[in-house]
Amino acid sequence: MQYGFFDDTNREYVINSPKTPFPWINYLGNKDFFGLISNTAGGYTFYKDAKFRRLTRYRYNNVPIDTGGRYYYLKDEETIWNPGFKPSQTKLDHYECRHGLGYTRFLSQKNGVSSNLLCFIPLDYMGEVHLLKLQNDSNKIKKIKLFSFAEWCLWNAEDDMANFQRNLSTGEVEVEGSTIYHKTEYKERRNHFAFFSANVKIDGFDTDRESFIGMHNGFNNPEVVENGNSKNSIAHGWSPIASHYIEIELQPGEEKDFVFILAYVENEKDDKWSSKAVINKSKAYKMMEQFDSSKKVLAAFEELQNYWSKLLDTFQLESNEPKLNRMVNIWNQYQCMVTFNMSRSASFFESGIGRGMGFRDSNQDLIGFVHQVPELAKERILDIAATQFEDGGCYHQYQPLTKMGNHALGGDFNDDPLWLILSVTSYIKETGDFGILDEQVPFDNDESKAKSLFHHLHVSFYHVVNNLGPNQLPLIGRADWNDCLNLNCFSENPNESFQTTGNKKGNTAESLMIAGLFVVYGKEYVKLCNQIGKGEDAKTAQIHIDKMIEAVKSKGWDGEWYLRAYDYFGNKVGSNENEEGKIFIESQGWCTMAEIGADEGMPEKALNSVKKMLDTPYGIVLNNPAFTEYRIEYGEISTYPAGYKENAGIFCHNNPWIIIGETLLGRGDQAWDYFKKICPAYLEEISELHKVEPYIYCQMIAGKDAHKPGEGKNSWLTGTAAWNYYTITQYILGIQPDYNGLRIDPCIPSNWKEFKVIRKFRNATYNINIYNPNGNCKGINSLSINGIEITGNLIPVHPEGNYQIDVHM
């Protein structure tokens, strides 16, 4: 069942039933100021940090779900309705929510009045702009009462939902003209305020929630809207809100438009006041003037669209798979950029009050956006690397505001350092900017300990070498990529963390996933060293890699697949010997990508075992059989019900590792089959089961042991986006940036006859046509540039210009 459709021309997903199986959301904003917006206009806004600088209040866990947002109530005679359907839930004659790139538009109609509400955050603007057009489609004069609504968060989102003994006494506002200012705590230590403005004269306002809604009413039936008249209330404590009241008369056929702005302003400490207790609003006035007409708003909207076009145009695919085209060209890239902006902070599954930026998350996410915003990717790399320790270990998380490592959590997640090699080499391959390696980057955020970024890579590599266990395999530390496989924790208390409790480092438990990862990025390190003339470094490193390969082959192979780990007691994890958790996906992916034991056929056997034991109609599960009871020596993984999350759920992040492995084996049909299973556009028709957005990857899909296999969860903020984008573009479509050019090495389904890619790379634009007349999966026969055939599959770096590339498989 579908709840909407893709409008590829407009790069929009169009939801035409407001009652989606879960709120289907979008993100507004590109830098510093952000809004989350659902298909019923629910959600909230924040400045930079979703926890500490939240503008509007939002309640997760709410009933009905997704209640609270930026709302417009239209009272037309006795009918009250909202352009986004909620919160009144009045049945509309027409409803459309169009989620686009950085904007959302609601087109709706009720009783002869149509509404067009466009919400977006203009580039470099610290406010959400709402352009509301109302049109009288009837042949009678329409008198409409319009009420806007936003509820202020008292800035610190966590405190806002807990510290009532203080917060119910602190709320303060000002009203001037058609603008409502939220200034709680402005009189003390805050130098920032928010405002909600209208570009027309208003007929009333409310700023006190109880006055507007009524003590016993809900968002669905505010007292003021029911009564058709605002109370001009001024909030003193309790819950400050902002609501404008506008009386509108529309002649038959007439259209009127209104601009509302929900924005954030910072003043200098010494320039906070215009007079005693009155905010200095000069910056706010300028912001309002910037968008005081629909014309100005539409100009900024066009700018935003151009901005996104430019970002996405770096990679454009034309294949015979329209669903794939829209994912590659629009939605997957878009999700990668959202993930860049948000990391794991704020979604409808991440409450925005939790963790900082993950070291490993950020490095991996980068492979999804480095081609779109290489300069920001560089900045991110340098920020991340600065939280590393001198021995190559690193803080597992850091705070985006301060960019400092998170001391409470610390380090000892032993896969972390290797991901830095992935991000840095990806960046250089995309840009050719080897200069980044010479950047002086602090350790532990201490400038006095700065060394070159190359040195950071060096210690990353050797952090593994220096932390080997009894089988000469990498010690796992607190956990490797799978945060829930906690081999050194042993927690019995439900209020303890599985990652920070117990013998965190451990000197026994080893990870085969890190072993594979080490070989993959060790090879990258060697390649890089050779590239920059550090042949000796390369040679030494290669010795360690070879040793690791031997260790995996002798101690990490279970007969039909790679082991997952050795536990604290030296017992095998992910072995046929085990009753549950016989096989895990991560080590199959990484050891296959590392091609360990290729001569002995290990990768092929391993992937065949994946197919046999982990594959399902909805994707590849993480492990099998699922754990049915708590194993204290395995930790959190065994706490989840079978089939969910890391306990045999389809954890989408790691499916691409298997897909890449399949492409390395040349098995294009299998790779494509796996790819499609978790690709959201291919799941649109089972949305009632999949539940989450069909335009966006989710972190997890319920596995075969679950109650409802195929049910998705935790959409938007997941490394899945980057890994799938990386996999489809570089390993299936096979367009691979490399140090010295663009390599073309597709591995496709045998029934694909051709596809085209336009790829901007460094300064050139390549129009790449790939033909597959013989129904192959992999291997190219010829490659020509502007009609001239070259040897091999590497398009060298070209000067600015357009180039025609023809490839025959």
Is residue 89 within the footprint of its own copies (CB under 8 A)? yes
Residue 357: both structure tokens together:
């930026």
Q: What is the dihedral of CA 515, 518, 519, 521, to 10 degrees?
A: 150
Residue 453: both structure tokens together:
């970024």
Using the minimum distance from each CB to its own copies, give the nearer residue, 204 or 237.
Answer: 237
Residue pair 746/730 in contact by the 8 Å Cβ criterion: no
Which class for 771: exposed (0-12), middle (13-18), buried (19 or more C-beta within 10 A)?
middle
CA–centroid distance for 486 within its chain: 25
Using the minimum distance from each CB to its own copies, give the nearer residue, 218 or 252.
Answer: 218
Is residue 31 within the footprint of its own copies (CB under 8 A)? no
Using the minimum distance from each CB to its own copies, give the nearer residue, 279 or 421.
Answer: 279
Query: Under 8 Å CB-to-CB from 435, ≥6 apart: which residues?
Result: none
Q: What angle do CA 686, 691, 695 make, to 5 degrees?
A: 80
Residues 1-20 that bind its own copies (CB under 8 A): 19
Q: Which of 8, 32, 60, 383 binds its own copies (CB under 8 A)?
A: 60
Is residue 700 within the footprint of its own copies (CB under 8 A)? yes
Is residue 220 within the footprint of its own copies (CB under 8 A)? yes
Q: Which of 671, 706, 721, 809 binds its own copies (CB under 8 A)?
A: 706
Residues 150-169 that bind its own copies (CB under 8 A): 155-156, 158, 160-166, 168-169
Radius of gyration of the chain (CA): 28
Q: Which of 63, 579, 617, 788 binds its own copies (CB under 8 A)?
A: 63
**Contacts by residues 83-87 (CB-CB < 8 Å, ≥ 24 positions apart):** 83/41, 83/108, 83/115, 83/117, 83/132, 84/18, 84/39, 84/40, 84/41, 84/42, 84/108, 84/117, 85/18, 85/40, 86/18, 86/40, 86/41, 86/42, 86/219, 86/220, 87/40, 87/218, 87/219, 87/220
Is residue 713 within the footprint of its own copies (CB under 8 A)? yes
Is residue 699 within the footprint of its own copies (CB under 8 A)? yes
Q: Could you tell me which of 623, 634, 679 has the C-alpha nearest to residue 656?
A: 679
Q: What angle do CA 220, 224, 230 make, to 5 degrees?
A: 140
Q: Which of 16, 217, 316, 531 binds its own copies (CB under 8 A)?
A: 217
Stretch that binds its own copies, among 133-141, 217-225, 551-559, 750-758 (CB under 8 A): 217-225
Stretch that binds its own copies, among 52-60, 333-341, 371-379, 782-790 (CB under 8 A): 52-60
Residue 477, phi then psi, degrees to nearest 5: 70, -145
Using the minimum distance from each CB to its own copies, give the nearer residue, 21 or 228.
Answer: 21
Q: What angle do CA 800, 802, 806 make, to 5 degrees?
A: 130
Rounded to an integer, what distance in angstroms lies between the CA atom of residue 493 and that of residue 318? 54
Smallest distance, Å, CB 495 to its own copies?
6
Residue 724: both structure tokens together:
């799938």
Using the minimum distance from each CB to its own copies, give the nearer residue, 196 or 443.
Answer: 196
Stretch that binds its own copies, among 63-71, 101-109, 558-566, 777-785 (CB under 8 A): 63-71
Smallest distance, Å, CB 353 to its own copies?
6
Using the minimum distance from each CB to its own copies, give the nearer residue, 353 or 382.
Answer: 353
Query: Under 8 Å CB-to-CB from 25, ≥6 apart: which residues?
Result: 36, 37, 38, 39, 43, 99, 347, 348, 693, 716
The catalytic position among 76, 208, 480, 483 is 483
Is residue 174 within the footprint of its own copies (CB under 8 A)? no
Residues 239-278 that bind its own copies (CB under 8 A): 239, 276-277
Smallest distance, Å, CB 184 to its own copies?
9
Residue 404: both structure tokens together:
């400092």
The residue with tokens 């480095």 is 370
Using the minimum distance from each CB to its own copies, give the nearer residue, 2 or 89.
Answer: 89
Q: What is the dihedral of CA 675, 678, 684, 689, to 10 degrees?
A: 150
Smallest distance, Å, CB 166 to its own copies?
7
- Mark 273-312 with x for binding to its own copies (rule: CB under 8 A) and - for no binding: ---xx-----------------------------------
Rounded to an integer, what distance in angstroms lies between the CA atom of residue 277 and that of residue 267? 14
Q: Are strands 565-566 and 572-573 parallel, antiparallel or unpaired?
A: antiparallel
Query: Under 8 Å CB-to-CB from 213, ≥6 apart: which residues?
Result: 219, 222, 223, 224
3-state secondary structure at position 652: helix
Using the minimum distance from each CB to its own copies, give the nearer residue, 333 or 347.
Answer: 347
Residue 195: both structure tokens together:
């405002």
Task: Count other C-beta atoms under 10 Å from residue 519's C-beta.
Answer: 24
Is residue 216 within the footprint of its own copies (CB under 8 A)? yes
Task: Tell me whether the omega of the peptide bond preceding residue 709 falls within 30 degrees of 0, making it cis.
Answer: no
Using the minimum distance from each CB to its own copies, give the nearer residue, 131 or 241.
Answer: 241
- Mark 347-366 with x for binding to its own copies (rule: CB under 8 A) and - for no binding: -xxxx-xx------------
Residues 714-773 that bind its own copies (CB under 8 A): 714
Residues 671-690 that bind its own copies (CB under 8 A): none
Active site residue 137: no
Please tell me the count of residues contacting its own copies according to CB under 8 A. Answer: 79
Query: Under 8 Å CB-to-CB from 50, ≥6 apart: which residues?
Result: 34, 157, 345, 346, 352, 353
Using the minimum distance from each CB to its own copies, give the nearer residue, 215 or 788.
Answer: 215
Q: Which of 79, 91, 218, 249 binds its own copies (CB under 8 A)?
A: 218
Residues 577-636 that bind its own copies (CB under 8 A): 628-630
Residues 480-519 that bind its own copies (CB under 8 A): 491-496
Smallest distance, Å, CB 350 to its own copies?
6
Smallest distance, Å, CB 135 to its own copies?
27
Is residue 71 within the footprint of its own copies (CB under 8 A)? no
Q: Which of 25, 150, 213, 517 binds its own copies (CB under 8 A)?
A: 213
Smallest distance, Å, CB 70 to its own copies?
15
Using the minimum distance from each CB to its own copies, give the nearer residue, 459 or 702.
Answer: 702
Stretch that binds its own copies, among 64-72, 127-135, 281-289, 312-320 (CB under 8 A): 64-72
What amino acid positions are annotated as catalytic residues?
A: 483
